[in-house]
Amino acid sequence: MAPPIIKLDDIHLTFGGTPLLDGADLQVEPEDRICLVGRNGSGKSTLMKIAAGLVEAQSGEIFRHPKATVRYLEQAPDFTGFDTVRAYAMAGLAPGDDEHRVDYLLEHLDLSGDEDPAKASGGEARRAALARVLAPRPDVLLLDEPTNHLDLPTIEWLEKELRAFRGALVVISHDRQFLKSVSRATVWIDRGRTRRLEKGFEAFEDWQNEVLEEEERAQHKLGRAIVREEHWLRYGVTARRKRNMRRLGELHAMRERHQSHRGPTGQAKLQASDAKDSGKLVIEAEGLEKRYNGRPVIDDFSLRVHRGDRIGLIGPNGAGKTTLLKLLTGQLQPDAGALRLGTNLEIAILDQKREDLDPQMSLEMFLTDGRGNNLVVNGEQKHVTGYMKDFLFQPEQARTPIRELSGGEKARLLLAKMLARPANLIVLDEPTNDLDMETLDLLQELVAGFAGTVILVSHDRDFLDRTVTSVIAPAQMEAPDGRWISYAGGYTDMLAQRREQEVRSKPSPAESSSAAVATKASSRERKLSYKQKFALETLPGKIAEAEQKAGELEDLMADPDLFARDPESFNRAAEDLASLRGKLEAMEEEWLELEMLREEIEAG
């Protein structure tokens, strides 16, 4: 076994109150691929900074190989003293390093190098910081949320770059797909301590559940043992005093162990405030166009959004995702085309730029709009500190200025503000940035189970697969030209449909050029029949109605006393539900086939 490059043993660090790190360990060996996981505020970034030598622990043993080069990607890079992005990236090189590597990285990260760091966007800042840490090919690469603000093509390029990287890697990320792609070991920080699994992130969640279940069983056994000992001391034989004193001491030790046990950190409680149902047709867009400096960003785009749809927008940075989002929600006027919003729409918007956050404002003032210490959620008055607890904020943080919050806390604060507003259309622009995985899970459940309509922009492939019913992407991902296509299903479904379209569009080697031209002409002439068009427009409504009826039947059968009270009604409901599910599946398959046919005709 090779000696470790970095070794942290029994690390302790407290910033007041509960210890942040309480005996944490981390060992990094050559060619390790470690993902560091845990809740927001669990100490992941702090442990990584200790490994990088940027933060001092209060106690513990720390070893860093004296000849090893270590590079740390921080979440908020400091560009002070650098006039250009190239100068900033070059400063990461050591004497003798290849300067051409910086140019290679800047090119692949879509940076010219002449950008002014002081004016860089979040995505440009993250890409510049990546170029700086990747350029020297260090022995250890420590990456803190490397995918934040990156678009999908850049994330996929970074995955390939890291898989080819020969040094050791430790990475913190909320992007499940990214972690699965780059990790071979997992270190979990939980309540100040670390546990290590010699498998990549794909095995983490099952392992985590097993650990927590075993811990719960152990605590239950300890509680029962305490009850037994207390009973023995009260009613047992008292003659053997020495033995009794020993058992009394053991009881005190068990009580102390039981009381000092820190249970798993609580979960955020995400629930959207109810609003009246919107009309069945939420958005109708016909021939939308938008140009900037003569370049088409949105070109002849049409879409119908029905109540209950969950739509994901993806594409490279600069392709026009946010522009399309604002056009569809009426925040931006198109250069051409028509937009019609449905009836009874109440829209709640989460903006990735966090423009609503005043750094000087307290959490209490932000959540209540400065109207005292109460807010109305779902028609009920709630005290702001009680509502804050649902989003894992402590009561004493009510008067904390927003500037003191971490990135994850700011993300949760914006979610808290948005979810307090009654809405039947939720618009989320990059909602996953800085959220921990547990909060992401809850956000996924909220989006997937929301009774209204959701439109979101995200680069998180796993989040898209778990939440959306359709994906809108540029027709040309590498060089967007303003044309956008809608695909049924999530991100993985979109990739499969694009691959299928590419296979179908490739001419057979036996075809002559004249036959290929004739095929294309024939494809352009194809049209949906009136019956097919009508089915395409009406099926989503029928599917929604069938889903509602299925839900009502499931609620009826959930009554534990129904079968005993009225077995005939129970059996009839079971038969109706089975029949309805069969019809639902048939309608969904028909709609999917028609939608793919429509896209094929339009693409042709």
Residue found under tokens 């694009």: 498
Q: Give strand pairing partners of 34.
A: 170, 185
* Integer Cα distance of 244 and 492 in angstroms: 65
Rg for the chain, CA atoms, rounded: 28
In angstroms, the CA 455 to CA 423 distance is: 13
Give the whole-angstrom CA distance, residue 421 versus residue 416: 9
The answer for residues whose C-beta is within 8 angstroms of residue 288's C-beta and 6 or more apart is: 298, 300, 301, 302, 327, 334, 336, 337, 338, 339
Nearest to residue 429, comparing CAs of 351, 312, 354? 351
Q: Which residues of 392-401 are buried (b: 16+ CB within 10 A; e: fewer)?
A: bbeeebbeee
On whether 44 is known to bind a ligand per the annotation, the reply is: yes
Closest CA to 442 of 419, 410, 474: 419
Residue 45 counted as an annotated binding residue? yes
Does 315 carry a binding-site annotation?
A: yes
Contact 191, 262 (CB under 8 A): yes
Q: Is residue 49 a known part of a binding site?
A: no
579 annotated to bind ligand: no
d(CA 192, CA 22): 5
Element (H, E) at 122: helix 122-134
The reply to whether 508 sits in an annotated binding site is no
Degrees to nearest 5, angle at CA 526 with 523 and 532: 135
Q: Does 318 show up as a binding residue in the annotation?
A: yes
Half-sphere exposure at residue 424, Cβ-oriented, CA atoms within 13 angstroms: 19
User: Do the annotations mark residue 39 as ligand-binding?
Assistant: yes
Determine whether the annotation assigns residue 453 to a binding site: no
Q: Which two tokens stand for residue 350?
A: 């989460």
* 43 annotated binding-site participant: yes
Query: At what angle are helices 100-108 and 122-134 packed, to 10 degrees?
Result: 150
Sheet holding 281-292, edge to edge: 295-306, 281-292, 336-341
Q: In this structure, which amino acid lies at residue 452?
A: G
Are 273 and 378 within 8 A, CB to CB? yes
Give the distance, in angstroms, between the CA of residue 518 and the centroid of all CA atoms in the same chain: 46
Letter string b/e over residues 352-378, b meaning 16 or more CB atoms within 10 A of that residue's CB? bebeebeeeebbbbbbbeeeeeebebe
135 SS3 class = coil
**Separation in Å, CA 530 to CA 192, 458, 464, 487, 537:** 64, 35, 33, 22, 11
Please check if 407 is assigned to a binding site. no
Confirm or deny that 16 is annotated as ligand binding: no
Scanning the structure block, which residue is given the tokens 């839900």? Answer: 551
Beta bridge partners of residue 142, listed in sequence order: 72, 170
Distance CA 278, CA 295 (A): 35
Binding residues: 38-45, 315-322
Binding-site members for ATP are 38-45, 315-322
